[in-house]
């Protein structure tokens, strides 16, 4: 059984979960997965760029480099995201 349309114990109520509730939960899970992937990519890129010799602590220049790298990465990601979303909205309006 695939679980869709079957009985779920929703908070102990024993009722059926409707499709809207399931869709919202899936959207939340996708958003969390996307945020985790964004954070992982940003961490990997900034670590490679800023940390020459890993040690037990970060010196001031490494801390500043990481902070600036992450700020730039998020700014770029937000710009791309806004542009992509506005383009999607324009395309939907044409339909």
Calculate helix-pair angle for 60-94, 19-50, nearest 10 degrees.
140
Q: Does domain 19-94 have CATH number 3.40.50.10320?
A: no
* Rounded CA separation 54/13 (Å): 52
* Res 15: pLDDT: 55
Whether the pTM exceeds 0.75: the reply is: no
Alpha helices in the chain (DSSP H): 19-50, 60-94
* Rounded CA separation 30/35 (Å): 9
In eight-state DSSP terms, residue 4 is T
* Rounded CA separation 95/60 (Å): 53
Residue 11 backbone class (left: φ over 0; alpha: ψ -120 to 50; beta: rest): left
CA proximity to 37, closest of 88, 62, 73, 75 = 73
pLDDT tens for 63-81 read 999 999 999 999 999 999 9
* Res 95: pLDDT: 86
pLDDT tens for 25-68 read 999 999 999 999 999 999 999 999 999 999 999 999 999 999 99
Confidence of residue 1 (pLDDT cuts 50, 70, 90): very low
Confidence of residue 85 (pLDDT cuts 50, 70, 90): very high
Q: Where are the domains of the chain?
A: 19-94
Check pLDDT > 90 for residue 10. Answer: no
């Amino acid at each position: 059984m695939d679980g869709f349309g079957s009985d779920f114990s929703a908070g102990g109520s024993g009722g059926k979960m409707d499709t809207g509730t399931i869709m919202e939960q899936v959207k939340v899970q996708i958003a969390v997965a996307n945020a985790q992937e964004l954070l992982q990519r940003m961490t990997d890129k900034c670590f490679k760029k800023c940390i020459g010799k890993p040690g037990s602590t970060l010196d001031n220049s490494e801390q500043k480099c990481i902070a600036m790298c992450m700020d730039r990465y998020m700014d770029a990601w937000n710009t791309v995201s806004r542009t992509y979303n506005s383009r999607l909205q324009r395309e939907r309006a044409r339909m």
